[in-house]
Amino acid sequence: MTTISPMTQDDPPATETTMRGLIKHHAGPELQLVNDRPIPEPGPREVRIKVKKVGICGTDRHIWEWDEWAAGRVPPGIITGHEFVGHVDKIGTAVTKCEIGQRVSAEGHMTAGVDYNSRTGNAHIAADTKIFGIDCDGCFAEYIVVPEDNVWHMHPDIDDKYAAILDPLGNAVHTVMSADVSAKTVLISGVGIIGLMAVTVAKAAGASRIYCTDVNPPRLELAKKLGAYAAYDARDDSWVHDVRAQTHEGVDVLLEMSGAPAAMNQGFRALRNGGTAALLGLPARTVDFDFNAHIIFKGCTVLGINGRRMWETWYQMEQLLLSGRLELDDIITHEFPMSEYQEAFRTMISGDGIKVLMNVSD
């Protein structure tokens, strides 16, 4: 057990061999900023990155609140965070794909690359996946070390504030692109951070009309601003009839982003026969679901979506960002210095903010 010295905004900066980091300091709620974490050294095929800007994810909220999932998975003591942009600061002795100074982000899903899926183009669902910031030290710190194979080189025309959130944007892009939305009607159930991103991604990818549902009226308004044709409060399910009447007996594509059992059932009712459902939202428990009506007799295609395809999703994100067609500025609502992490998390958890970023270094 290492000792932990809590720090405030007035505390001295870390030394030449130590750094500041936001750690899960105990098996309980909240995180703590410390300044005495050793600066990590990269192994032979690893890269050290000086972190500049990070994003707070819904997953970080679970870790902050220390819910059942977090308590069962996250080892106390680790540095949290998995969404970031920074610069390569040091490379291992056998590294061939990265150079010091390059602006980079990284894919958070790490695999040894030896299992069936990693070797057949599906590393995002590898059996041995570990995620930094969840299973081991992450990016809410001045430095992070990642395998060189996980590094993504950032296009110079992509702003840091977008570069810092490619992890969740990649979830949205992976979901939308898996379902082939071009010239199709699309229902997005759940417009939290990733659902809102999916609205602008689906619009950019050529969806015809986008319908959204949620139980949060301001988020529904924002979904419309980002390009949704109509947005409905899911607490009154009369919208299902309206949407079926406005489309060819239902939407072509359902993108399920809520994980709420009621929304999943509504969404499948609104999906036309032969449609495609891509499921990203995670239900908290087993769901009561009518397979006969919703899948079998409907003849629909159901896709489970996990992570980002390596590296197809990252190339798609790069090109969508460079196209100028993604509207992310209303989704990224706040930026704080990492020293104000408590206010940053409060802003995100209260719902006052949507995507909240923290600045780790200049």
Q: Shortest CA distance to 195 belongs to which of 320, 319, 280, 301?
A: 280
Give the nearer residue to Zn ion in terms of CB position, either 57 or 198: 57
Nearer residue to Zn ion within complex by CB, 250 or 307: 307
Contact 134, 83 (CB under 8 A): no
The least CB distance from residue 59 to Zn ion, in Å, is: 5
Q: Enumerate long-range contacts of 225-228, CB under 8 Å, 24 or more apart.
A: 225/330, 226/196, 226/199, 226/200, 226/327, 226/330, 226/331, 227/199, 227/200, 227/202, 227/203, 227/327, 228/188, 228/199
- Cβ neighbour number for residue 142 with a 10 Å cutoff: 24
- 57 versus 126: smaller Cβ distance to Zn ion: 57
197 near Zn ion, rule: CB under 5 A: no
Q: Is 177 in the site for Zn ion (CB under 5 A)?
A: no
Stretch that binds Zn ion, among 49-57, 174-182, 190-198, 288-296 (CB under 5 A): 49-57
Q: Which of 59, 185, 200, 276 is catalytic?
A: 59
What is the nearest approach in angstroms of Zn ion to the Cβ of residue 192? 12
Q: Is 247 a catalytic residue?
A: no
**Residue 59 annotated in active site:** yes
The two tokens of residue 96 are 């061939």
Instruction: Pick the stretch among 42-50, 164-172, 181-189, 339-347 that binds Zn ion (CB under 5 A).
Output: 164-172
Closest CB 43 distance from Zn ion, rounded Å: 25
| Binding footprint of Zn ion, residue count (CB under 5 A) | 3
Residue from the set 167, 214, 318, 327 that interacts with Zn ion by CB under 5 A:
167
Closest CB to Zn ion among residues 54, 57: 57
Tell me if 142 contacts Zn ion by CB under 5 A.
no
Q: Does 57 interact with Zn ion (rule: CB under 5 A)?
A: yes
Is 169 near Zn ion (CB under 5 A)?
no
- Measured from the CB of residue 349, what is the shortest distance to Zn ion in angstroms? 15
85 binds Zn ion (CB under 5 A): no
Out of 18, 25, 62, 333, the active site residue is: 62
Residue with tokens 């947005």: 231
Question: Closest separation between CB of residue 238 and Zn ion, Å?
Answer: 34
Residue 204 sits in the site that holds Zn ion (CB under 5 A): no
CB of 83 to Zn ion, least distance (A): 5
Q: Which residue is closest to Zn ion by CB?
A: 57
Q: Which residue, 300 or 326, is less far from Zn ion as judged by CB?
A: 326
Q: Does 139 bind Zn ion (CB under 5 A)?
A: no
Q: Which residues are catalytic?
A: 59, 62
Q: Which residues bind Zn ion (CB under 5 A)?
A: 57, 167-168
